[in-house]
Amino acid sequence: MTVQDSTAPDAALGLAGIPHTGEGVTADGHLTEPQAEDFHHARSAPPDPRWYKSAVFYEVLVRAFNDSDGNGTGDLRGLADKLDYLQWLGIDCLWLPPFYASPLRDGGYDISDFRAVLPEFGTVDDFGYLLDQAHKRGIRVITDLVLNHTSDAHPWFQESRQHPDGPYGDYYVWSDTDDRYSDARIIFVDTETSNWTYDPVRGQFYWHRFFSHQPDLNYENPEVQEAMLDVLRFWLDIGIDGFRLDAVPYLFEEEGTNCENLPRTHEFLKRCRKVVDDEYPGRVLLAEANQWPADVVEYFGDQGVGGDECHMAFHFPLMPRIFMAVRRESRFPISEILAQTPSIPSGAQWGIFLRNHDELTLEMVTDEERDYMYAEYAKDPRMKANIGIRRRLAPLLDNDRNQQELFTALLLSLPGSPVLYYGDEIGMGDNIWLGDRDAVRTPMQWSPDRNAGFSRCDPGRLYLPTIADPVYGFQAVNVESAMNNTSSLLHWTRRMLQVRTEHPAFGHGDFTELGSSNPSVLAYLRRHEGDVVICVNNLSRFPQPVELHLSEHDGCVPVELTGGVRFPAIGELPYLLTLPGHGFYWFQITQPHEEGEPQ
């Protein structure tokens, strides 16, 4: 046992009494770390190697969802208690932002122990319980993992700065000068002036692509690579279904480059993938690389073998384009970005979203487009953050039900696996008076009761106040009343998810845009083997006619997917549809004999 003093590597963790890294030191100077065998393992999810291609993801902040112990902060047990709701809604996979031990100086992305859970959220065993209960309901769980850096409170960094010659001396990127890799841009220009920071303890500079309290791990060191692969194994053994790998482009550095997307970074991702494929088939890696699709596809790896790096990656530029297209009543913002999106390997899938826990990021748009988005969707300066807009879907769309439905229909039918953001299914609002990105991280609204049914605590102890305004407040907007009202947005969303599940074309199908002479109507065809679905969206607030050229399906009958109504058969002539303002249709194209009475 090491002595508990302020210089002990695990001193900063606040994890006394629960298993954590650095509780002991081995003979050769390595820190002991918790092992997966020490914890309960969850039962497996139903086997399906391609599940992520058709899954609907739901991003949920543990802190914001449900508080089981009444301390004002949501936790893993609380989330587990709400799995029935998520199963009822039709969610296939939860995505949890990091819940690891952390000083929380960067929303938990500053991880101080990869093998311990943030105490206010629970324990590793609580996570195992959540996983087990989720798998029991056919729901999978993935979480964020930051490969690139750790918190400066991580015992590895404490060891590294204090013992340059010890086993961790080389775990981070140290230098006597602060002038190496000068071509790498500074990401957080508001807070950081350099990618190097001087550490008085070690008397050297350390490298960090993000905040100075997040030193970059040194991937040149083979031991670091092994250690991080073991972190993957730790959680995979407990039963997690995959990771969203945060900030992947930055793992390696090389003089004379911008230190992003380097070949050796891809090599390491291939190693991660191999671990998953060989040891944990059916689990997934999702790359977080906020870049243009043409660059992001690199992270799927080799097309020839169906992809050998990440299974999934987010499609960032699509989201602002959806907003622009509807506001401009023109399909071109969406059509353009999809036309510029390269094809991806057969085993790969995009993740697409309308909103998430970050601001609506406008990094992947031109300056002109960013000005446009600010002018249209962030009329109050407080709605802006960094280069984005900190608002939830409902207020972004002026709480207009038709638009919320249209946006959701687009999200569920465009190519990629949709990611819903907690609370958007009931039309929750935001609180732009809260600082940073907290506007969109307020407690989930379960009922009209105290604290929106989120916690039993004294309202003053809530980690963030509930939304209380007359329009979006929990008295008006909550799960309980939405469930009691079958015409609510919640019920509508659930029905749409059901329809989506019934049609492999949405998840697995290819995508063909069906041009039309009406620039306000976006129509496309999704096809997977025999399943052919046509989606027609009116991006304008005014009713619109559209003529579609479907003669390829001459004789077939379009059946509307939400109600099953059969539309007139397709013939040689253009197929005329009229759509109400912001209306949309999903049709299955059926052979004439498929439906109805035997003939």
Partner 1 sequence: MSTRPLHAVESLADDLRAWLPAQRWFAAKGRDLTDVRVERAEVLSSGEPTLVHALLDVDGELYQVFIGVRYQLPEHLNGSLIGRIGESYAYEAAHDPELMAGLLDLLATSADTGSLHWRPEPGISLVTGLRARPIGVEQSNTSIVYGYHYILKLFRRPTPGANRDVDLHRALASAGSTQVAAPVATVEDDDCVLGFAQRYLGDAAEGWATATASVRDLLAEGDLHAREVGGDFAGEASRLGAAVAQVHADLAEELGTQVDHDVDAGVAEMHARLDAVLAEVPALAEHERTLREAFDAVRAVSAMPVQHIHGDLHLGQVLRTTAGWVLIDFEGEPASAPRERVRMRSPLRDVAGMLRSFDYAALHLLAGDEPDNQRLTRAAEWADRNRSAFCDGYATVGEDPRADAALLRAFELDKAVYEVAYEHRNRPDWVPIPLAAIRRAPGIP
CB 239 within 8 Å of CB 188: no
| 288 carries an active-site annotation | yes
- Give min distance, CB of 545 to partner 1, in A: 11
For partner 1, which is the closer residue by CB, 487 or 517? 517
Q: Which residues are within 8 A (CB) of 561 and not within 5 positions of it... i.e. 6 or more apart?
A: 499, 503, 533, 586, 587, 588
In the complex, the smallest distance separating the C-beta of residue 369 from partner 1, rounded to whole angstroms, is 9
Q: Binding mask 466-505 vs partner 1 (x if CB under 8 A, - otherwise)?
A: ----------------------------------------
Task: Mark residues 201-240: x for contact with partner 1 by CB under 8 A, - for none.
Answer: ----------------------------------------
Work out whether 541 is an interface residue with partner 1 (CB under 8 A).
yes
**Cα separation, 164 vs 357, whole angstroms:** 38
Cβ closer to partner 1: 69 or 513?
Answer: 513
Judge residue 18's burial from the number of C-beta atoms within 10 Å of its C-beta, 0-12 exposed, 13-18 middle, 19 or more buried: middle
Q: Which of 24, 571, 580, 592 binds partner 1 (CB under 8 A)?
A: 571
Secondary element (H or E) of residue 277: helix 263-279
Q: Nearest to residue 269, comparing CAs of 243, 291, 293?
A: 243
Quote the tokens at residue 398. Answer: 């002026």
Strand partners, 284: 242
Please tell me what DSSP assigns to residue 461: G
What CA–CA distance (Å, rounded) separates 428 from 399? 9
358 or 547: CB nearest partner 1: 547
The residues, ordered by sequence, that sit 6+ positions from 443 with a Cβ below 8 Å of its Cβ are: 64, 74, 451, 452, 454, 455, 462, 463, 464, 466
- Is the Cβ of residue 468 or residue 514 nearer to partner 1 in the bound state? 514
Whole-number minimum distance, CB 323 to partner 1, in Å?
Answer: 10
| Shortest distance, position 515 Cβ to partner 1, whole Å | 4
Supply the minimum distance, in Å, between the C-beta of residue 547 and partner 1: 7
Residue with token string 């001459």? 554
Decide whether 265 or 518 has the Cβ nearer to partner 1: 518
Burial 418-443 (b: 16+ CB within 10 A, else e): bbbbbbbbbbbbbbbebeebbbbbbb
Stretch that binds partner 1, among 62-70, 97-105, 135-143, 329-337 (CB under 8 A): 329-337
Question: CA-CA distance, 21 to 266, in Å (whole number)?
Answer: 28
Report the candidate in 145, 316, 154, 317 with the shortest Cα–Cα distance to residue 246: 145
Site string for partner 1, 506-525 (x = CB under 8 A): -------x-xxxxxx-----
- Outline where 342-488 has alpha helix (H): 367-377, 393-396, 401-413, 479-484
Stretch that binds partner 1, among 302-310, 331-339, 441-449, 472-480 (CB under 8 A): 331-339
Under the criterion CB under 8 A, does residue 555 sit at the interface with partner 1?
no
Q: Which of 59, 113, 241, 246 is catalytic?
A: 246
Greatest alpha-carbon span in the chain: 86
DSSP for 86-101 reads HHHHT--EEEE---EE
49 binds partner 1 (CB under 8 A): no
Residue 271 makes contact with partner 1 by CB under 8 A:
no
Show the 3-state SS of 243-257. Answer: EEEECHHHCCCCCCC
Binding of residue 349 to partner 1 (CB under 8 A): no
Structure tokens at 502: 């019934």
Asked if 82 touches partner 1 (CB under 8 A), the answer is: no
Phi, psi of 187 (to 5 degrees): -80, -50
Contact 249, 291 (CB under 8 A): yes
Q: Could you say which of 540, 570, 575, 589 contacts partner 1 (CB under 8 A)?
A: 540
> Per CB under 8 A, which region of 305-313, 416-424, 475-483, 568-576 contacts partner 1?
568-576
Residue closer to partner 1, measured from CB, 312 or 338: 338
Min separation Cβ 371 and partner 1, Å = 10
Q: Which of 125, 329, 400, 531 binds partner 1 (CB under 8 A)?
A: 329
Query: Minimal distance in Å, beta carbon 429 to partner 1?
Result: 21
Among positions 372, 454, 474, 492, the unique one binding partner 1 when judged by CB under 8 A: 372
CB nearer partner 1, residue 193 or residue 551: 551
Among 92, 199, 216, 288, the active-site one is 288
246 included as an active-site residue = yes
| Least spacing, CB of residue 521 vs partner 1, in Å | 9
Per CB under 8 A, 370 contacts partner 1: no
Residue 338 DSSP SS3: helix
**Amino acid type, 127:** F
The binding track of 376-405 with respect to partner 1, each residue x by CB under 8 A or -, is: x-----------------------------
DSSP label at residue 451: G
Our finding on whether 328 is near partner 1 (CB under 8 A) is yes
Q: Name the segment binding partner 1 (CB under 8 A); options: 101-109, 212-220, 491-499, 569-577.
A: 569-577
Residue closer to partner 1 by CB (options 38, 336) is 336
| Region for 239 from its dihedrals, namely left if φ exceeds 0, alpha if ψ lies in -120 to 50, beta otherwise | left
- Closer by beta carbon to partner 1, 125 or else 369: 369
Q: Are 149 and 210 in contact (CB under 8 A)?
A: yes
- Under a CB-based contact definition with an 8 Å cutoff, are residues 51 and 44 in contact? no
Cβ of residue 328: shortest distance to partner 1, in angstroms? 5
CA dihedral 250→256→262→263, nearest 10 degrees, is -150
- The answer to whether 274 contacts partner 1 (rule: CB under 8 A) is no
Question: Does 321 participate in binding partner 1 (rule CB under 8 A)?
Answer: no
Question: Applying CB under 8 A, what is the total number of residues that bind partner 1?
Answer: 32
Residue labelled with tokens 């003979």: 27
Smallest distance, Å, CB 468 to partner 1?
30
Compare residues 173 and 373 and give the one whose CB is closer to partner 1. Answer: 373
Site residues, partner 1 (CB under 8 A): 327-332, 335-336, 338-339, 368, 372, 375-376, 513, 515-520, 540-542, 547, 549, 551-552, 571-574
Q: Give catalytic residue positions.
A: 246, 288
